[in-house]
Amino acid sequence: MNPSFLRHTLTAAALLIGVGAPAQWRQQTVELRPGWNAVYLEVQPEPAGSDALFAGLPVESVWAWNRSGASAEFIQDPTQLIVGQADWLTYLPPQHPAAGQTSLHALSGGRAYLVRIPDGTAPFPWTVTGRPVLRTPAWVPDSWTLTGFAVREANPPSIRDLLAGSSAHAGQPVLRLGTTGRWEPVPTANAPMRPGEAFWVRTAGASDFAGPVDVRLTDRTGLLFGGDLVEQEILIVHRGAQSRSVTVTPIASAGAPAGQTPVAGPVPLSYRVAGSGAGEPAWQPWTAALQRTLAAGETWRLRIAVRRRDLPASGGASALFQSLLEVTESGGGRWTIPVSAARAGVAGGTSVGAAQGGATTSGRAGLWVGSARIEAVNQPSHPGNPTLPRPTPAAFEFRLLVHVDGEGRARLLQKVLQMHQPATYRPDPENPGRRIVDEPGRTVLLTDDALASQYSGSAVRDGRGVGRRLSSAAFGPGTPVLLGGGTFGTGTLTGEVVVEHDDPLNPFVHRYHPDHDNLTERFDAALPEGRESFRVARTVTLEFTDDDPEGLPWAGWGDLHLGGRYRERIDGLHRHPLQVFGTFRLQRASAVPVLNDGR
């Protein structure tokens, strides 16, 4: 099958499925000592509220540099900080006499904080559960920035090595918070960094430096596959001057905090093997660490896919699977990438189909678009074996449209029209002069053209809203054909497409030919079937297979890509049945589980 045929078909049919923003969890532990502590948060805390994060801890105050104010021309020792300064946001615990002046109500990952612990308190670990963040420091040009870096606990990098790859920071002063509560120059460039520690770093000019190795994602919040994405890419850019070894390792997520979607299990991933030759798999299951040595300026493009057919059965249809990828480099840097995936048709742990027009218990509910490729047919008049399928001189392709309802019943369609049901609004109870959404807008799939006028178009053409129509020339207009006998996606489905003897599309019928118009010689009565034309029955069989029928390396096979062997028996065209054979592929284009809006 020509893959481009399928891609063009799906481009025309693209109906977007929303993806939520669930989190994957990691615990960061920082030791807090009496006096002042400079802390860099590597995770987005959950909960993020300051009161919840510091509940039950002996914390006097927490301070965050307010970069919306003036640039830091000089560094102020923490002992000189005053509540209400424009350059600082402050958290004071509820029991503090000045708690009403709190301006730091929540903490964010990828930020630095100063935490004051009462003198005489024994050191204690502060453990924060949250979602790892990949955030480039917001450097202030020609000034100081309070920030930190994600580094390994074992063999962390030195200040000099970390900043050596940036012309804006190499050789610039760096201040570390001393035991006396004062900012002090780092005594030696070879001094090792500590995980979770914040520094004042001077920048010469502008900078976008994130470290000697920069980890880039399309979505900086992580690899969130949801229920519809199959492939994503990680770019690992080496910005340093010396070659470095980079390792990417799948690791388990910590347990989800209270009130968050539970972790149903790890996300099974595959990675694309570059330069795979004939007979070599292009995608390999990812079960162990991947390592690569990067030269200065080199970029590692790591293509990743989720294997939804290998998701554990635990958690039900709306389960959210969550894990992490840990990126480390030989210089001591470390980054953690959140990864999450849901079953097909689920976004953020919620059924997409339920949000688009109906309840669904089937993980494959929605519209599937693809093509069949016919490559063999029997020859009834062959003197040898008239039933043997023989290769055709050239393959014949045609479009396939299949809709699966919320209960898993599949129907073969000749056409479908994508329309839009606009949102409805109602007065806001708290502000009657303002309207709020009552029922959100949603996509509607129609097979009955008579209903189209009751909906809005889903696309704009020449300034007017129009519907998107998909159709197949291989089947005549009519009621969708129920496919039975098995489970869509894993079993074998069969349905009968009938062309009655008096159907205008019947190949025996000719309206203006007296021998093929199904009328008597006087044209005053209709003739029964079998006199001038014959009933044609096409028995269509879709046999789904575990792998692509032609061995092509589809990353999402068995998930958003389905297919297998196509067969069709045609009775009525010849005194002997005609048998055609080939392959088919389908890709999910919409999660709407009902046709004609349930009418």
Question: Could you tell me whether strands 578-590 and 561-571 are parallel, antiparallel, or unpaired per DSSP bridges?
Answer: antiparallel
Residue 4's H or E segment, with its range, is: helix 3-13
Same fold, 213-350 and 355-500+535-598: no
SS3 214: strand
Which of 516, 527, 507 lies closest to 572 in space, CA to CA? 507
pLDDT per residue, tens digit, the chain (599 aa), is 554 444 444 333 333 333 334 558 999 999 999 999 999 999 999 999 999 999 999 999 999 998 754 566 667 788 888 898 888 999 999 999 999 999 999 999 999 999 999 999 999 999 999 999 998 999 999 999 999 999 999 889 988 888 887 899 988 999 999 988 899 998 766 788 999 999 999 999 999 998 889 999 999 899 999 988 899 999 999 988 889 999 999 999 999 999 999 999 999 999 998 765 555 568 899 999 999 999 999 999 999 999 988 888 777 778 999 999 999 999 899 999 999 999 876 654 444 444 455 555 677 899 999 999 999 999 998 888 989 999 999 999 999 999 999 999 999 999 999 999 999 999 999 888 899 999 999 999 999 999 999 999 888 888 888 889 999 999 998 889 999 999 999 999 999 999 999 999 999 999 889 888 889 888 888 899 989 899 999 999 999 999 889 888 788 888 888 999 999 999 999 999 999 999 999 999 999 999 999 88
Which of 200, 193, 220 lies closest to 133 in space, CA to CA? 220
CA distance 516 to 531: 9
Longest dimension (CA), the chain: 114
The CATH number that domain 213-350 falls under is 2.60.40.10
What are the residue boundaries of the structural domains of the chain, listed by start?
26-202, 213-350, 355-500+535-598
Tally of CA atoms within 13 A in the half-sphere of 217 that contains its CB? 21
SS3 99: helix
State pTM to two decimals: 0.77
Residue 29's H or E segment, with its range, is: strand 26-32
Q: Which residues of 234-268 are buried (b: 16+ CB within 10 A; e: fewer)?
A: bebbbbbeeebebebebeebbebeeebbebbbbbb
The number of beta carbons lying within 10 Å of the beta carbon of residue 451 is 15
| Assigned fold of 355-500+535-598 | Porin (2.40.160)
How wide is the angle at C-alpha 491 spanned by C-alphas 485 and 496, nearest 5°?
Answer: 40
Contacts of 386 (CB under 8 A, 6+ apart): 378, 379, 380, 576
